[in-house]
Amino acid sequence: MDQVKEFNEYRAKMNEVLLGKNNKVINRLFNLDTNTYAEGALPVRTKEMLGLVASMVLRCDDCIKYHLGKCHDEGISTEEMYEIFAVANIVGGTIVIPHTRRAAEYWEALKAQ
Amino acid sequence: MDQVKEFNEYRAKMNEVLLGKNNKVINRLFNLDTNTYAEGALPVRTKEMLGLVASMVLRCDDCIKYHLGKCHDEGISTEEMYEIFAVANIVGGTIVIPHTRRAAEYWEALKAQ
Amino acid sequence: MDQVKEFNEYRAKMNEVLLGKNNKVINRLFNLDTNTYAEGALPVRTKEMLGLVASMVLRCDDCIKYHLGKCHDEGISTEEMYEIFAVANIVGGTIVIPHTRRAAEYWEALKAQ
Amino acid sequence: MDQVKEFNEYRAKMNEVLLGKNNKVINRLFNLDTNTYAEGALPVRTKEMLGLVASMVLRCDDCIKYHLGKCHDEGISTEEMYEIFAVANIVGGTIVIPHTRRAAEYWEALKAQ
Amino acid sequence: MDQVKEFNEYRAKMNEVLLGKNNKVINRLFNLDTNTYAEGALPVRTKEMLGLVASMVLRCDDCIKYHLGKCHDEGISTEEMYEIFAVANIVGGTIVIPHTRRAAEYWEALKAQ
Amino acid sequence: MDQVKEFNEYRAKMNEVLLGKNNKVINRLFNLDTNTYAEGALPVRTKEMLGLVASMVLRCDDCIKYHLGKCHDEGISTEEMYEIFAVANIVGGTIVIPHTRRAAEYWEALKAQ
């Protein structure tokens, strides 16, 4: 199975488990998370870039994949994407490189769809 | 093989390699680690919850699995577990969510045993 | 001015600034944060210990001070407190020690009130 | 002395010490850092927002101050700024709140100039 | 396929993708990364140990593997290696243990070549 | 008071408080910490460099100061020191720069003694 589909399916399946336990704090946090990236004074496109760079410097591969998907939906170009990668790698250091390799691979998978 | 067994076997196998080199600092740290979670002014049950939430905000999947196993042994309920997940996700942010998905999956595996 | 008072006053003053801008996400996150530590399947006392150990391994002095204050309110003893410090230092390593020094100092200030 | 001036002066003084040792790697990294935020496929304004959110989730007060200054130069509004704060606090969790308090204070100092 | 070969091949393949986009900042950072570990006032051998311990406390498995390979090339003994592991685990805490297990496994693979 | 003296005095005073509570885990961890940097397969000098670079990428100013003091005792030159700074800043990114500024200032204070 291709990695975009695999990522989305596992995420959807486990979110269902997590939210199904009806822990109020967790369910409200998920809701708040969605609102964070909604159109506001800043456009969705910018907010998704912010979410991506934050995920990269914190080195969370799944969070990176999620925001890469959203950035792809927002029509961010490969040239722009690599400038986000550049900020993440300069701020976060070479420790971010292995995550950038996986991000680059996932980005190619998104472009190939 | 189920993931609980797989986790425990790899952990046991590699601990043997690590401890077999007789590095005094590492071997004493392993020993000290065990003592940390022993009954004291705080009960084992509370200490394992502390170890779990610390592992979650530091986002170490294997450490999370280990403490999930111990919390399961201590009879922590699913409702209590999700309140620990809630603290970890609020303190540590949405960057903890992917680790919580995997924790939820492992918790289900523990309950299914 | 003693450090407990100084901490609480700066925190209150800046929370007013932050919440006064009416950013919905931030204001709801503050609200959710409060709910996280409310009585539930786990008692407030346990949740505050969880919040403290999470703050210690993430090495945030102000978060540590906040939860130390709450733990003090919950009647946690010095012996229990040092067992929480022990978990944080074992999980998080000696990098947590300088934060533990400041935590110990603040704890003494709380006890002296 | 006001905190904007104090921050800039210490930064300038110590950069001089650092760069004066002529370590090639450090001096080239400083140079590369400057290039990272130059106009490219993404405008300076967006890149500074990326640098800020990355600094916030990594919880580096001085890096936050630096990018706050740059964002202020780029004419970012308070409403936009708080949306960046929101992304940082949701992704990074409540552990980011104390840094956001100090960021809010510095932002007010920048606006007051 | 053995894990040393697998690691090196994926790394080489994705570095080609990353560098092929001609983002100046990323390409120069890769170049600067190489220079960092070149012979200087400190020998390569010491610098690779520094790179390894930094990668361990930051808990990046791929960075760890890379520097383990380099340390192996530099003739570092298993006894010396475990002293590096000891520093990383004491400074970084037990959260580093799972990464040390994987490091120990990779080290054995390097020795077996 | 000069910052070297101030740092050492606060550290000594608070260690006394911490160790005086007789929490076995904490007291043994302090003891183990000392052993970690003792002469072994690797010389003290190398181990202190390892401790320093680990402290820098984890961005703990007090840990950095402690190991700077030890490195100074071991006769590490300024040129060598800046190569350690270089590794820390490349691996850890520009987020390490503010800590490097403070490290450089403390290093000058140590040299001036």
Please state the rounded mean pLDDT for residues E70-89: 98
Please state the rounded mean pLDDT for residues D49-75: 98
Q: Are D84 and D91 a contacting pair, CB within 8 Å?
A: no
Complete DSSP assignment for D16-85: HHHHHT--HHHHHHHHHHHHHTSSSSS-HHHHHHHHHHHHHHTT-HHHHHHHHHHHHHTT--HHHHHHHH
Q: Which residues of C touch A35 (CB under 8 A)?
A: 24-25, 28
Quick check: C1 pLDDT over 70? Answer: no
Helix crossing, C61-73 with C44-57: angle to 10°?
160
Q: Which residues of C touch E57 (CB under 8 A)?
A: 93, 95
Nearest residue in D to A57, CA atom: D54
Reported as a single tens digit per residue, the pLDDT across F61-85 is 999 999 999 999 999 999 999 999 9
Nearest CA of chain B to the CA of E77: how many Å?
12
Phi, psi of D42 (to 5 degrees): -100, 140
Please state the rounded mean pLDDT for residues C15-26: 98
Q: Which residue from A33, A40, A77 is facing D41, i.e. has the nearest CB?
A: A77
Contacts for B19-23: CB closer than 8 Å, 24+ residues apart: B21/E78, B21/E79, B21/E82, B23/E79, B23/E82, B23/E83, B23/E85, B23/E86
State the chains in contact with C (3 or more Cβ–Cβ pairs under 8 Å): A, B, D, E, F
Among the listed residues B48, B57, B65, the one whose alpha carbon sits nearest the alpha carbon of residue B91: B57
State the chains in contact with D (3 or more Cβ–Cβ pairs under 8 Å): A, B, C, E, F
Reported as a single tens digit per residue, the pLDDT across B12-58 is 999 999 999 999 999 999 999 999 999 999 999 999 999 999 999 99
Q: Are F91 and D29 a contacting pair, CB within 8 Å?
A: no
Chain A segment 87-106 residues within 8 A of E by beta carbon are 89-90, 94-95, 97-98, 100-102, 104-105
Quick check: E2 pLDDT over 80? Answer: yes
Which DSSP category does C41 fall into? Answer: S
pLDDT band at A1 (very low <50, low <70, confident <90, very high): low
Identify the pLDDT of residue B1.
60
Size of interface A-D (CB pairs under 8 A): 81
Q: Which residue from E59, E90, E101 is facing B25, i.e. has the nearest CB?
A: E90
Nearest CA of chain B to the CA of F32: how many Å?
7
Reported as a single tens digit per residue, the pLDDT across B60-111 is 999 999 999 999 999 999 999 999 999 999 999 999 999 999 999 999 999 9
B55 touches chain D (CB under 8 A): no
| Cβ separation D90–A47 shorter than 8 A | no
pLDDT band at D7 (very low <50, low <70, confident <90, very high): very high
Complete DSSP assignment for F14-83: HHHHHHHT--HHHHHHHHHHHHHTSSSSS-HHHHHHHHHHHHHHTT-HHHHHHHHHHHHHTT--HHHHHH
Q: Are D4 and D68 a contacting pair, CB within 8 Å?
A: no
Give the CATH number of the domain where residue D43 resides.
Answer: 1.20.1290.10
| Cβ separation D94–B95 shorter than 8 A | no
Identify the pLDDT of residue C79.
98
Size of interface C-F (CB pairs under 8 A): 52
E45 touches chain B (CB under 8 A): no
For an interface test with B, the pick among C29, C37, C48, C53 (most B C-beta atoms closer than 10 Å) comes out as C53
Q: E62 is in which domain, residue-wise?
A: 3-112
Q: Are C51 and B84 a contacting pair, CB within 8 Å?
A: no
Identify the pLDDT of residue A9.
97
Among the listed residues D102, D99, D79, D76, the one whose alpha carbon sits nearest the alpha carbon of residue D89: D99
What is the rounded CA–CA span in Å between residue B6 and residue D27?
48
Domain count, chain F: 1
For an interface test with F, the pick among A85, A90, A91 (most F C-beta atoms closer than 10 Å) comes out as A91
pLDDT band at C67 (very low <50, low <70, confident <90, very high): very high
Reported as a single tens digit per residue, the pLDDT across F10-22 is 999 999 999 999 9
For an interface test with C, the pick among F18, F30, F48 (most C C-beta atoms closer than 10 Å) comes out as F18
Chain C segment 16-35 residues within 8 A of A by beta carbon are 24-25, 28-29, 32, 35
